[in-house]
Structure 1
Amino acid sequence: MEDLFDWWKRKAKTLTFSKVWLYGVALIPYFVWMERNARCHNSAAKQYKQCFAMVKGEICMFSSVHLGHPLSISDLLCARRLGIPRVVCKHREIIEVFWCPPFPGWVKLNIDGCSFGNPGKAGVRGIFRNERTKSILNFRKFVDIKTNFEAKFLAIMAGLEQAKDHGFQNLWIECDSATVVILQSKSLIPWFIQQRWRGILPFMNSINWKVSHCFREANTVADFLAKSATRLEISSLVAAWARSVFMDMDMDAAQHPRYRFP
């Protein structure tokens, strides 16, 4: 019994209706005991549906309202079956997401890295665009077996090396990983890429650059490049864009919003 109660309490921490679950640990044994006594001493027996209705009635008396995180459909149906009234949830906020062109005279680099398996086969990619939103350079590389975190840092490093080779002096780097952006902006470079970072550091100190975070919805072109590098295990420029990527680039150029549903 002690193990059962410990498990019941631990389980409550992972459930949406934790109070209902905790009420059950007392109410269910209580009604089972009451029904047993009625059958033994009074020769009276209720059907299990009646017993369950009594348990639900008691739960409803205590659980008069639910406030908190958004409920899933299954949670909402559970609340309806248990008779918990006035279920109040936080509304989901829909976010408009835009890709922003760089300042005049700047080049914007959108990068991404992905790993199929984390760790697994990984690819990095990036696309450089100018203030007129035109693509001036792209790259994609297969980087063997890596984690997602490693792939995204390798994508930044590959982009910086491309920027150095082409002599870009004003560079805006954009990535959809907040962790990578924070570490890069503070020069907290992971050990596995320290050597390459030291090699590129003189170039970084000689140019104007910044790094910022964006939502994945604003990074669709770079996402396509990385997944194609990973899936095909290739390292090459993209000579012919897929029609869907052309549409994404046109949406970026036209400042057309995409929508994010947190």
Structure 2
Amino acid sequence: MGDLLAWWKRKGKNLTFSTVWLCGFILIPYAVWMERNARYHDGAALHYKHIFARVKGEICMISSVHLGKPLSIPDLICARRIGIPRVTRTRREIIEVRWCLPFPGWIKLNTDGCSLGNPGKAGAGGIFRNEKGDSLLNYREYVGIRTNFEAKLLAVIAGLEQAKINGFQHLWIECDSTAVVTHCYREANVIADFLAKSSARFEVSYPVEAWPRLVSMELELDANQHPRYRFMNL
């Protein structure tokens, strides 16, 4: 029973629909035990469908099956098939996100770090752009086995080194980690994200000379201040 309880709880942590799963651990053994006693002592027996309906009814009586966590479409379908009511998806807020041009005379540096495994193979990357959104310089560095935080921090350090080498002084640095530097949403850090991930995946430490078509399109979207959208659960 101890091993079963430990497995059941570990499984519940990985499920969005965890409340029903965790309630089931209590209600199902209870229902089986009560049915066992009824058959042993009273000679009465219920069909398994009636027992299942009783368990489902107990779950439905819980004040809130869903406690505000994001609920996936498969979870909703599962709830409908089982017949559990009061299960709804969390409402979402849509945020408009834009990459902002730097002020005249300034250069903007977007950095990012990526760890494939956290810790795992990691890469750091960044891109310098002027007030028109034109790419001035980009860099990628494979930094070995690191955590995500370490990779993001090393990306900023590498950017500062590149800025010093190239004489970039009026610098605006942006990253999608609040713990590292001025924060921006990932939707406004697409190019740096590409540089970091490609560096980690292919273990390369050299800049991109020819942008892939999709990345070039993202550069144009940034330069034209085109919005992207972020969906956040309320």
Quickly name the TM-score band, shorter chain normalised.
0.7 to 0.9
Match of 1:197 in 2: none
1:236 matched to 2:201: no
Question: Do the aligned partners of 1:124 and 1:225 also contact (CA within 8 Å) in 2?
Answer: yes
Q: Which residue of 2 aligns with 1:217?
A: 187
Distance 2:205 2:58 in 1: 65
* Cα displacement string for residues 202-241 of structure 1 (whole angstroms, at most 9, x for unaligned residues): xxxxxxxxxx111222111112222232333332232211
State the distance in 1 between where 2:6 and 2:203 align. Answer: 47
Where structure 1 has 5 or more consecutive residues not aligned to the other structure, the ranges are: 182-211
Comparing 71-80 with 214-223, which one deviates more in the overlay? 71-80
Quote the residue 2:172 is aligned against. 172
Residue of structure 1 equivalent to 2:127: 127
1:68 is matched with which residue? Answer: 67
How far apart are the structure 2 equivalents of 1:4 and 1:146? 34
The letter for the 2-side match of 1:257 is P
1:34 aligns with 2:38: yes
Which runs of 4 or more aligned residues in structure 1 lie more than 6 Å from their structure 2 counterparts after TM superposition? none
Is the 2:122–2:147 contact (alpha carbons within 8 Å) kept by the matching residues of 1?
yes
Amino acid at match of 2:199: A
Q: Which residue of 2 aligns with 1:251?
A: 221
1:16 paired to 2:19: yes
Q: In structure 1, what is the Cα distance between the partners aligned to 2:64 and 2:121?
A: 48
- Distance in structure 2 (CA, Å) of the matches to 1:73 and 1:172: 40
TM-score (norm 1): 0.73
Q: Deviations over 1:50-87 (max 9, x none)?
A: 23223333443x23653522323343344334543232
CA root-mean-square deviation: 2.9
How far off its partner does 1:5 sit? 10
Separation in 2 of the partners of 1:154 and 1:116? 15
* Pair 1:227 & 2:217 matched: no
Task: Give the Cα separation in 2 of the matches to 1:56 and 1:116.
Answer: 41
Q: Which residue of 2 aligns with 1:118?
A: 118
Quote the Cα distance in structure 2 between the aligned partners of 1:138 and 1:4: 52
Q: Which string of whole-angstrom CA distances, capped at 9 and with x for unpartnered residues, describes residues 127-182 of structure 1?
A: 1111111111111222233322222111101111111122222111011122222x
Distance 1:217 1:33, change over 3 A: same
Q: Using a 3 Å threshold, how does the CA distance of structure 1 residues 67 and 178 change in structure 2: closer, same or farther?
A: same
Distance 2:133 2:50 in 1: 68
Partner residue, 1:190 = none
Q: Once the two structures are aligned, what percentage of the paired residues are identical?
A: 57
Instruction: Give the residue type in structure 2 aligned to 1:178.
Output: T
Gaps of 5+ in 2: none
Distance 1:56 1:151, change over 3 A: closer
Whole-Å Cα distance in 2 between the matches of residues 99 and 10 of structure 1? 42
Alignment of 1:185-196 (within 5 A): none
**Take 1:87 and 1:118, find their aligned partners in 2: how far apart are those partners?**
34
2:136 is paired with a residue whose SS is: strand
237 and 54 in structure 1: CA distance in 2 versus 1, 3 angstrom threshold: closer
Question: CA separation of 1:117/1:85 partners in 2, compared to 1, >3 Å: closer, same or farther?
Answer: closer
